Amino acid sequence: MATPIRFTKPLLTRLTCPAGKAEVFFWDDALPGFGVRAYASGRRLWIAQYRDGAGRTRRATLGDLRTVELDEARTAARQLLSKVELGADPQAERRAARKAVRVSALVEAYLTDAEGRLRLGTFEGVKRHLRVHAKPLHHAAASQLGRAEIVRVVSAVAKGSGPVAANRFRAALSAMWTWGLTTGFLDGRENPVALVPKPAAETPRERVLTDAELALVWHATEGVHDYGRVVRLLLLTGARREEVGGLAWGEIEGGVWMLPRARSKNGLPHEVPLGPLAMAQLPEKREGRDLVFGTGEGGFSGWSKCKAAMDVRIAAARAKAFAAAHGRVPKPDEVPPMVWTLHDLRRTFATGVSEKGIEPHIVEAVLNHASGAARRGVAGTYNRAAYREPKRAALALWEAHVREVVGLPARVAGNVAPMQRAS
């Protein structure tokens, strides 16, 4: 080993590899184990040398002399050598880190397993959360990921997509981690997501849109292409967002939407009779594409962006109505924003048809709510057939109401079966 010398900035320029040698080491007399490794190529690296628990010599690279200053390198070496004194092996830790399971690998393994277990709509949401929202974590070793890093990403999702979306992201991340631990894909016992607080407490919504608000929503969808058509179908049928967004042409048979069990939330097949106004919202079929909406591999996407743009149009329409009624532009606090979600349309539909006298069990059938064993098995098959006409009548009644609310000409139904009304 070369005689140690006191490293100084002026001296560093002379620490080069002599001719005829592949490499040479220089050692600092101020900090034993701290040195410079100089190569014949001219490259020079800061190093820290120590012996591991088995007495073997180990060297850890601390950076290039061109980019790391002497004081920074000496500080890094002192920290590393202090860890060694306490029993650590930095080189072994680095090798373990390189072999550690990355979050990106955990994500793909979990999605492969979950694809066959989760309902299609649920799976698509989980996939989006883990591949898109969790991307800032993908590079990290799963075993070394701290709670603070997860909190930062969850908070970023809450800021960009809202607290409810952040709650869903957190739930997907936690489920993935639990799967990794229970299957042995990850080592350890602790789920770091478990103690990450939810961005927001969720309470069941009770929002029901007024007729005036329904009209605003309808008119704000004019000329909005796929998103506008999807919103109108949600308004007319009371269906779920992902079910309409993933609608396929093969599911529509003779004016009836046959939702397969693989795409329904409760795993039950569902028939939705589509009235003339609902059928009019379907676009022309694009050659080579069975999905009605969207352009990518899946159905419609871009929900948040389109909803935000639609809210801007609704706000402009409300401000215009205020100006027409009062003869002046409204002040900022005179026309508060209309707070609503797409799922509120489903609740509005259920409330609206109930108020028009439709019996609860028919409303439940239209919404495809699983209510008891009668909806499943052979009995469920016969019940679906029995409910077909009452469901058609209920949807026709609601469609007539929507026509009136949004100012469309009334349509006389030719053969709508009489419906049961609550007494």
Asked whether residue 133 is assigned to any structural domain, the reply reads yes
d(CA 17, CA 37): 9
Asked whether residue 411 is assigned to any structural domain, the reply reads no
State residue 374's pLDDT score: 38
Alpha helices in 280-333 (DSSP H): 303-326
Which 3 state secondary structure label does DSSP give 381? helix
Q: Could you give the number of structural domains in the chain?
A: 3
The residue among 66, 98, 130 that closes a domain is: 98
Asked whether residue 193 is assigned to any structural domain, the reply reads no
Give Cα 341 distance to the centre of its chain. Answer: 17
> Are 89 and 116 within one domain?
no
> Are 276 and 160 within one domain?
no
State residue 268's pLDDT score: 84
Q: Report the CATH number that the domain containing residue 256 is assigned in CATH.
A: 1.10.443.10
State residue 279's pLDDT score: 96
The residue among 47, 68, 98 that closes a domain is: 98
State residue 121's pLDDT score: 73
In this structure, are residues 314 and 220 in contact, taking their beta carbons and an 8 Å threshold? yes
> Are 74 and 125 within one domain?
no
Q: Report the CATH number that the domain containing residue 55 is assigned in CATH.
A: 3.30.160.390
Dump strand ranges (E) for 299-395. Answer: none
Asked whether residue 262 is assigned to any structural domain, the reply reads yes
In this structure, are residues 297 and 284 in contact, taking their beta carbons and an 8 Å threshold? no
> Are 176 and 224 within one domain?
no
Asked whether residue 330 is assigned to any structural domain, the reply reads yes
| Length, in residues, of the chain | 423
**Domain housing 169:** 103-183
Asked whether residue 366 is assigned to any structural domain, the reply reads yes
State residue 412's pLDDT score: 46
> Are 144 and 160 within one domain?
yes
d(CA 257, CA 236): 13
> Are 61 and 178 within one domain?
no
The residue among 98, 129, 156 that closes a domain is: 98
Q: Which residues pair with 36 in a beta bridge?
A: 26, 46
> Are 152 and 87 within one domain?
no
> Are 225 and 281 within one domain?
yes
List, for residues 104-119, the tens digit of each pLDDT value: 999 999 999 988 788 7
Q: Could you report the average pLDDT of every consecutive run of 10 residues in the chain (423 residues)?
A: 83 92 93 94 93 83 92 93 83 66 92 84 88 94 87 93 90 93 84 88 80 96 90 96 94 93 85 95 91 88 91 94 93 89 94 92 88 43 67 95 92 41 36
State residue 414's pLDDT score: 40
State residue 31's pLDDT score: 93
> Are 25 and 167 within one domain?
no
d(CA 105, CA 134): 12
Asked whether residue 419 is assigned to any structural domain, the reply reads no
d(CA 102, CA 175): 17
